[in-house]
Structure 1
Amino acid sequence: MPHDETALYRRLRQMPPPRICPWLWVFDFDGTLVNLEAHPNQVKVPQPLLNDLLQLTQLPGHTVAIISGRTIDDLRTYLGSIPLLWMAGDHGAEVLGPDWHWIHGNAAALTRQFTQLAQELSRQLSELPGVYVEAKRYSLGIHYRLADDETTRILKRMLATMPMPSGMAFKHSHLCVEIRPVPGPTKADAMAIIRNQVQSPDIGSLALVFGDDQTDEDMFQAAYREDVTVWIGTDARTTAAEFQMDSPHRVAALIRWALAGT
């Protein structure tokens, strides 16, 4: 079981300060920085959180990255007011930083196929109440957060017999089934790319990694021994994260704590 917030704050106080070893803050978005909503379009980012993230990116020795299943364009609608922010979308298929841009080759090659598959699945699943298909550029998501138990069972039976196009595979996340490129990127790949871009070879960096979903476990597992990994949630589950916080509200409080100590 991960350690609680008290242990987390104790660990942070023991870490080398950013002026000696830079800190790389890595956040998932939905369920980590903002509350999960019934539909992704219903998410709202509190203005105080935007202000704090902006301030954090401007501090010497601090880099902030958002690594999400959302597209880069979607993330920019919420976070575009923070110019120094690093963002990775589609679970690492695309990475965008200040004056830097990268797209995973396999994902880019399947853009047209993902668009066609999203249209086809939207037609096939239109009769299932509470199920909707989220079309992305380099992946797609089949959400069933609003579906009842019987509809969820029907959906999973349909997907189990659905032929998967070449170069794509299912990946299960929280109340959602993702279809992604294979071999393809992970959030851990995106974290490594960003880390290599921002850290000095002579000094390195310490990563503080926050996530709430099964798709974030890749980042927890890839973290260095000196890094800090934090799972966001209240239910009992197995996680590779070392620490646990209850909610995005508590994550926001930790960011304010870090700013107050600078």
Structure 2
Amino acid sequence: MARTASAILEQRGSRRLVLLCDFDGTLVEFQSDPAAVWLPESRRTLLEGFLDHPAATVGIVTGRRLIDVRERTGLPDAAYFAGLHGLEIEGGGEQFVHPQVAETRALVRGVSITLAARIAAHPGAFLEDKEMSVAVHYREAPASAHAEIMTAFEQVTRPAIETGRLRVMRGSFVLELLPNIPWNKGDAVRWIVKRVQRDGVPVFPVYIGDDVTDEDAFREVEDRGVGIAASDRVTGGDFRVDGPAGVEELLRELFKTLEPEG
């Protein structure tokens, strides 16, 4: 891991490190209940160390609501936070909510009510209502029920999808219905990087993610930074580590070898 950290920082040179991480499956282990997930103290301390460093910026880019991940990380306002796959972002004294999100809130709510009734018939599966999107989690459902759960999701959501107003994003044992807006984690990474470098500061973005929803972010950094895959579920990334424990180990090594700018 020390060699990986050294290789990353060698590529960085004297540029400012912009460390961007997914949350679930990357910084924290998956849990059957998303509400039971909190950033471990050891990892929070590491990220706070980067935040205090004069040569680094930290951001969290997640499918969770922004307000939720803020609470679950416990990180200070110096960090950037991007929620709902980048549809809402805060940091650097700015706030962003994609202007088209409000247009589909009522439609998402209506689908959510119908979907909840269908999913309730499957033990181990549950619906997560994020207000501006809705997700069905089925990690704890019997494998024999997965196909039926996916079929139920497709049947309920198809009319809204066919209008072109909503779209489906597939993750690890999760199906999410989102506003059909051409905006993703890659756009969120670009938004954050642009603000970090607006004073002419050269930057080196590093993105760490574990799921197919992170592929857009990997593509965004590939020409000017480094992508790190935290699982075998993703095909992108220049380096690979083994889950949240591997991410923690890499962050520890990165911090040990990080030198101030100039």
Tell me, yes or no, if the aligned pair for 1:106 and 1:184 is still in contact at 8 Å. Answer: no
The number of equivalent residue pairs is 254
Which residue does the alignment assign to 1:209?
Answer: 207
Determine the structure 1 residue equivalent to 2:159: 164
- SS of the aligned residue for 1:73 comes to helix
Q: 2:252 aligns with which of 234, 256, 260?
A: 256
- How far apart in 2 are the matches of 1:101 and 1:164? 33
**Alignment partner for residue 229 of structure 1, among 218, 227, 230?**
227
Task: Provide the secondary structure at the position in 2 that maps to 1:119.
Answer: helix
Deviation at 1:149, TM superposition (A): 1.9
Displacement after TM superposition at 1:225 (Å): 2.1
Q: 1:7 Cα shift?
A: 5.6
Partner secondary structure for residue 177 of structure 1: strand
Sort the Cα spacing of 1:73 and 1:13 in 2 relative to 1 into closer, same or farther, 3 A. Answer: closer
8 A contact 1:94–1:103 mirrored in 2: yes
Aligned Cα root-mean-square deviation (Å): 1.9
Aligned ranges 1:47-196 → 2 under 5 Å: 47-162=41-156, 163-165=158-160, 166=163, 167-196=165-194
> For the Cα contact (< 8 Å) 2:133–2:176, is it kept in 1?
yes
In the aligned structure 2, how far is the partner of 1:105 from the partner of 1:45?
30
| Contact 2:212 2:234 (8 Å CA) reproduced | no
The one-letter amino acid of 2:7's match is R
**Once the two structures are aligned, what percentage of the paired residues are identical?**
25
Cα distance in structure 1, aligned partners of 2:122 and 2:107: 23
> In terms of mean alpha carbon deviation, does 60-69 or 116-125 score higher?
116-125
Counterpart for residue 10 of structure 2: 14
Residue 149 of structure 2 aligns to which amino acid in structure 1? L
| Contact kept? 2:62, 2:84, Cα under 8 Å | yes
Q: Aligned equivalents of 2:55 and 2:159: distance in 1?
A: 45
Structure with greater proportional helix content? 2
Give yes or no for contact 1:93–1:184 (8 Å, CA) kept in 2: no
Structure 1 residue runs of 5 or longer lacking an equivalent are none
* Distance in 1 between residues matched to 2:118 and 2:175, nearest whole Å: 15
Equivalent residue, structure 2, for 1:199? 197
State the SS of the aligned residue for 1:36: coil
Shift of 1:175: 0.3
Q: Say whether the 8 Å CA contact 1:23–1:207 is kept in structure 2.
A: yes
Contact 1:115 1:136 in 2 (8 A): no
238, 242, 246: which is aligned to 2:238? 242
TM-superposed CA distance for 1:201, in Å, is: 5.8
The whole-number CA distance in structure 2 between the counterparts of 1:9 and 1:257 is 6
2:68 and 2:8 mapped to 1: Cα distance?
Answer: 31
Task: Provide the secondary structure at the position in 2 that maps to 1:133.
Answer: strand
Whole-angstrom CA distance in 2 between matches of 1:238 and 1:184: 21
Separation in 2, partners of 1:157, 1:221: 31
State the SS of the aligned residue for 2:26. coil
Give, as a single letter, the amino acid of the residue that structure 1 aligns with 2:135: G
Distance of 1:184 and 1:73 partners within structure 2: 22
